[in-house]
Amino acid sequence: MPSASIGDSPRLYDISRTITPALAVWPGDTPFHAEHVLRIEDGASVNLTTLTLSAHTGSHADAPYHVMTGGAHPDALPLERYLGPAHVVTIARERGGIVPEDFAGHDLSGLQRLLIHTWVSDLPDDRWPDD
């Protein structure tokens, strides 16, 4: 991954996945779907679209609510938590879950934000890992 800055200017990385009906989702989760309910080109006064998707569609940050009973819900977390400098750890291993040993050699003390780059990050949007 390139340096987080160019000269004295911070660099912004867009880690977003493109949201389309072909976007792979967690097995059993709700896939993305967009339905045009009304269209101006068909004579309607406005365009209306209904979206169906999971809270885990595409790139996202899991709130404590996702993994803990009583954990903070995303709507209770300030947006500022997601903006600012981040430490990036790349895990090159291509099988198994993320484990503490993956962070050996990284000083994670005092970090406010951590981005984890794995081989799954590099998969095409329409592919889900096999394991």
Catalytic residues: 66
Neighbours of 60 (CB within 10 A): 13
The C-alpha atoms of residue 62 and residue 78 are separated, in whole angstroms, by 13
H-type alpha helices, 18-130:
none
Residue 52 β-bridge partners: 33
11 vs 15, 42, 47, 104, 120, CA distance in Å? 13, 44, 36, 26, 23
